[in-house]
Amino acid sequence: QVQLVESGGGSVQAGGSLRLSCEASGYTWSNYYCMGWFRQAPGKAREGVAKIYTRGGSTYFVDSVKGRFTISQDNAKNTVYLQMNSVKPEDAAMYYCAAGSSTAGGRCPDPFFRVWGQGTQVTVSS
């Protein structure tokens, strides 16, 4: 059974850093060409924050986190990371890890993500 388990969430001061981890199990890592981090704050829609095409390593970031967040993968550990730097109060949300397929061109559209973790909460104090 496919399972994604997030960790690393917690409370951080504005301007600080946090690293989220997502460990995948129950399937072959290479079966899913896209891994991503999504977030949802209360009263807001879920948004894709960062995605990585696992076959080629290309990445995507939502504009609001560009230059502050990075996404990376460790194939040996079946783990994807989200490094959050210069965290802002508006980054506070429940963060979800997800896995999905890609387009033929190596893109990772939101609807292609089919496997989801339970989420890890990030709170930001100003």
Q: What angle do CA 73, 76, 82 make, to 5 degrees?
A: 20
- Residue 75: predicted pLDDT: 87
- Residue 30: predicted pLDDT: 63
**What number of H helices and E strands is found in the chain?**
0, 11
What would the pLDDT profile of 27-76 be if each residue is shown by its tens digit? 765 678 999 999 999 999 999 999 999 988 899 999 999 999 999 999 88
Asked whether the beta carbons of 119 and 42 are under 8 A apart, the reply is no
What would the pLDDT profile of 97-120 be if each residue is shown by its tens digit? 999 999 988 899 999 999 999 999
Q: What is the mean pLDDT of residues 76-99?
A: 96
Q: Output the CA–CA distances (angstroms, integers) from residue 78 to 5, 20, 58, 85, 126, in the order listed.
A: 11, 14, 17, 23, 34
